Structure 1
Amino acid sequence: MGKIQLPPSPQATATNPSSASSLPDELPSYDEVTQPIEPYRDAEQENHLSPPPNAYHIPGQQRYNSIRPAQRFSGSVTLDPDYSRHAETLERFIEAQTRLPPRPCLSVHGTHKESRRSGNETKTENVTDFDFRIDLTRTILRWGRNELSGPSERWSYTTVVSDTDGQKAYRGGRIKARSGKKTGRIALGEGDEGERLMDLENQEDYPGVKGWCERFCNDPAPVKSFTYRRSLHGFDARPMRDSLTSHIRSTGYAGHIVINPVVANGFVTVYSPHWINTLRNNAYVYWICIILQLWILTWPLICFMERRYEVVHSKWFSSKTVCDASAPGGVRKCYAAGPGMDEARAAEMWAPVVREAAWQGRVDGCILGEAEIEELRRKGIERREQLGENGNDLPRRGQSVLGAMGIRSIGGVNVTGAWGGDSSSASSSRFSIRMG
C-alpha cells in the first residue's frame, strides 16, 4: 500500500480548538501507512446529500452489542472463521477497510412533554415527535469525489502499532501494553519495500498489518479478537446544530430539539468462532446477562480468557488548519469536501431535508436513504417557496395577529401554528395547525 510516511508536522498543521477533535499536538510514536488510492470514484454523481454506496458489507456481519447507543451504532462484528484462521484473508480484509472512512452522522431528535390527570394523580410522559439520522459522509469528507488527478491534500492516515514504539495498546494480551514480544523478522513479499506495510529502518523489524494478522491467526488462544478502528477529526458540529435547529423552529415547532454528532462504522471487530464469542455476540444472551446482572460473573471471565488485538487505526479529517502567510493570522482552514464547504454550508444543503423530515414526524431513528432524501428535499423546497418566497404567507400573518391578541385556541384547536410544545393534554399537540 505504498511507502511508510510520517503524518504532517505539527508546525505545518495547526490545531482547531473549536473542532470536535483535531490533529494531535505531537507525532505518534508508531508507524504510519500511506493510502495511495481511494477505492471508490463516482464519476457521474457528485451528490453531497447522497449516502455512500453499500461498500461496508462484511461477511457474517452483526451489530455490536452494548448498553451505550453510540457504541451499538458505531460498531460491527464478524465471527467468520476465515478471518481468524487465514492471515492472508484477514490482511486483505483490514487493508480494504482502511480505505473506507467512518460515516459521520447527525442524530436529530425532537420531544415534548404531555401531562395527563388520572384521578388525583398527574402523569407526565415524553412524546417523540421526530427521530432520524442524516449521513454526512459525502457532505464533509473527501471520499467519493471525482478527482481525475487525485486529491491535492491527504485527508486520511492509517497507523500500525510496532513492537518498540511504547504506544499503549492491546497487543494480544488481556490488558493494554506498551511493548510486544519479538517474534523474528517477517519476510517481505516481492516488489516495493513498503508493499506489505513494513518498516525496516535502522535494521529493526516492525510488524505491519501482515505481521499482526499472522500473530493473531497463529495465536493458540481459543477466545481472541482483532479490532480495527476509525476516527473522525476536524468536524465542528455546532454550526450545523444551530442552523438546523433554527430551520426546524421555522415550522413552528415548540418542543425540545437535540442534535448530536454520531459516527457509524467506527470500528470492526473480528472474533474467533468460539462458543463464548458466539454467545457474547448474541443479542438475547447479552441482554439477559444485563437484566439479570449476570455480567458481574461473565464479564471478568471473558476478560481473563480473551486475547485482544487493537493495533490498526485510521484517522480521517473533514478539515485542517494550515499555515498560510497570505491569510489573516497566518493560518487558514481548508475543508476536505472542497473550498467553502464548511459546516455552515453543509447545514444549508441539508436544511430542506431535515426541516421536512421533522415536519413529517420521521421517528424510526434510522439513517435517511437516498430516495427519502431526494423526496424530502423536493417537498421541503416546495413548501418553503409556497409559504415564504411566493408571498403566500397570509396564514402565518393571521396566526401572528391572533397570538398578539392572546387567542391561542378556537374550539379546542391550537391556531397559533405552534406544534410539539409541552402540554397538559394530548389535544393541544394533536390538533395544532402546523404551517411550515
Structure 2
Amino acid sequence: MGKPNSHATSFSDNVSLHSNPGERSTITPYVDDDAPEINIDDLPPNYSDAIESSEAAPMLVPGSAMNSAIRPSDLDAKVIIDQNSGAQAWVAKSIENPGSLETYVLQLSGIPPRPYINLVGTHTETTKDSKGKQEKNTVTDFDITVELTPFLFADAQYRRSWSQLRTVDNEERVHRGTIRAKRQGGSNQSIEIGADARPTLQEWCHRFAASPASLKCFTFQRQMVGFDEESVKHRLEGLVRGTNYRGHLTIRFVTKDARVDFYNDTKINRWRLTPWIRWMFFLTLIFILSWPYLIFRTKRWEVVVAEWPFSRVDESGNREYVSISEDQWYNMWARAICRAVLEKRQTILDQSDLRRAHEADPAFNTGNSNVDGALGLFRAGIHAMNEVNRQLGWGGDC
C-alpha cells in the first residue's frame, strides 16, 4: 500500500503485466467524482470465484495461471508457506540460474497481493477470583475483515489490472546484495551509468547468481499502491463510533501473499526453514546465537516489486481508479460493516454479507405459526438490543 503512482515518472524496468510495455493500459479508467453509491448487482465477483471460473482467460504463461501453484522446477526443492501471512520461502538449486530466477519472478508477479482491512473492538473486564484478587481480561467485541483484492482488477474474471513489475529506485534504501539496507552506490557510478539508470530484473538475477556468498536470499514483493489508507481508516472509525461503541478500536491494513524469499540451496538454508529445527532452537535458546549468525552471514537482495495500483495519477494530475474509488468502496461496505459490528461478529465479510446488508430481510415463513412467531420475536429482540446499544453505548471497560 502506498501513495498513488505518477505516470510522469519514467522507470527503466517497469514492466506492465497486462499491457504492452511503453503503452498505457487499454482499460478505461474510472475518474473520481462525487462517488455515488454502487448498485449491489454491479459488484465485482469474489476473487476466489473469479480465479476458479472456467471462462477465465489465462494472462500468464502456460502452467502459471492464478489458480495453479507455481513451484520451482527442482524435484528436491523445498517450499515453505506461512499459513498466516501467505509468505513463501523457496530453497532450490535452480534459483542460482539467472534465467530460472527471472522466470519465477515473472510468473509470481501475475498473482496479486491479498490486502485486507481489519477492524477489531475490545474491552477490558475486571473480575475477582475466589481469593478476592482482581483479574483483568481482554474481551473481543468484534473482529471484522474485508478483502480489497477484487478492487485491484478492472475485470477480475479476465485478470485485467494495472499491475507492473519494477526494480527499486536508486534512492530507495533496500538490501542490494548486502547485509544492511543501503541506497545505490557512489557518485562515480552515477556519472558512468546516468543518475536515473538502474539495474533491470535480468541484471539483478545475474548479480545474485554471481555472488560468492555462501548464504544468500533474493526477495520478491507484491504491494497494493494508490490506496488512501488514512482517509478510509478515519471514516471507518467514525462509522464504528457512530454505533456508540465505547471500547478500544483498532483498524489496520494487512497484506497477505506479499512476499517470496528465494534462498540458495545449502544445508543451513534448509535447516533454517525446517519447522522442528526452528522450534528446537527456540526451546533450547540456541536462537540467541544462531540468529545473529544468520543475520550477518546472509546477503540479501530486496530489489524487485510487483505493484498493483488501486489508483494512479494521470498526466493531468487527476486520480483515476482501476475499478472504484475509496469513497465508493466505503458507500458499498459501510452498511455491512456497521451491521457486523452491532452483531459482534468475528469473521471475514464476503459478498453474501454485502448483499444481505443492502437488501431487506426476507419474510421467511416456515408454515408453523409457533415457529414463525418465535422467529419474529427473535428478530425483534435483536433489533431492539442493537438500538439500545446505539443509544446508551456498549463495549466499554467494566
TM-score by length of 2: 0.66
Matched, 1:131 2:143: yes
Q: Look up the match of 1:21.
A: 3
Q: Quote how far apart the aligned CAs of 1:206 are.
A: 7.2
List per-residue Cα deviations over 1:133-166 (Å, max 9, x = no partner). Answer: 2210222x24545789x77xxx44432369xx67
1: CA distance between counterparts of 2:263 and 2:181?
18
Contact 2:117–2:253, Cα closer than 8 Å, also in 1: yes
* Mapping 1:222-301, distance limit 5 Å: 222-245=214-237, 247-248=239-240, 253-283=245-275, 285-286=277-278, 289=281, 294-301=286-293
Cα 1:322–1:114 change in 2 (3 A) is same
Q: Look up the match of 1:34.
A: 15
* Mapping 1:47-196, distance limit 5 Å: 47-48=43-44, 50-52=46-48, 53=51, 55=66, 57-59=69-71, 61-63=79-81, 73=85, 76-118=87-129, 119-139=131-151, 141-142=152-153, 144-145=155-156, 155-160=162-167, 169-176=174-181
Matched, 1:348 2:359: no
Q: Look up the match of 1:334.
A: 320
TM-score by length of 1: 0.61
- What is the SS of the residue equivalent to 1:100? coil
Q: Look up the match of 1:374.
A: 351
Q: Look up the match of 1:312.
A: 304
Contact 2:223–2:258, Cα closer than 8 Å, also in 1: yes
Contact 1:101–1:316, Cα closer than 8 Å, also in 2: yes
Q: Look up the match of 2:373.
A: none
List per-residue Cα deviations over 1:46-101 (Å, max 9, x = no partner). Answer: 74362353727443543459xxxxxx63x612324154244333221101223333
2: CA distance between counterparts of 1:397 and 1:212?
60
2: CA distance between counterparts of 1:292 and 1:280?
15
Identity of aligned residues (%): 24
Cα 1:380–1:248 change in 2 (3 A) is farther
**4+ residue stretches of structure 1 with deviation over 6 A?**
383-386, 393-401, 414-417
1: CA distance between counterparts of 2:222 and 2:345?
29
Contact 1:82–1:90, Cα closer than 8 Å, also in 2: no
- What is the SS of the residue equivalent to 2:16? coil
The root-mean-square deviation of aligned C-alpha atoms, in Å, is 4.6
Q: Quote how far apart the aligned CAs of 1:116 are.
A: 0.7
Aligned length: 334
Cα 1:38–1:276 change in 2 (3 A) is farther
Cα 1:302–1:254 change in 2 (3 A) is same
1: CA distance between counterparts of 2:360 and 2:397?
26
* Mapping 1:337-416, distance limit 5 Å: 337=323, 341-359=324-342, 361-363=344-346, 368=348, 373-382=350-359
Contact 1:32–1:157, Cα closer than 8 Å, also in 2: no
Q: Quote how far apart the aligned CAs of 1:218 are.
A: 4.8
The structure whose RCO (Cα within 8 Å, separation 6+) is larger is 2
Cα 1:48–1:237 change in 2 (3 A) is farther
Q: Quote how far apart the aligned CAs of 1:379 are.
A: 3.7
2: CA distance between counterparts of 1:275 and 1:51?
38
Unaligned runs of 5+ in 2: 21-40, 53-65, 72-77, 186-192, 364-378
Q: Quote how far apart the aligned CAs of 1:308 are.
A: 1.8
Q: Quote how far apart the aligned CAs of 1:227 are.
A: 0.4
Contact 1:224–1:272, Cα closer than 8 Å, also in 2: yes
- What is the SS of the residue equivalent to 2:13? strand
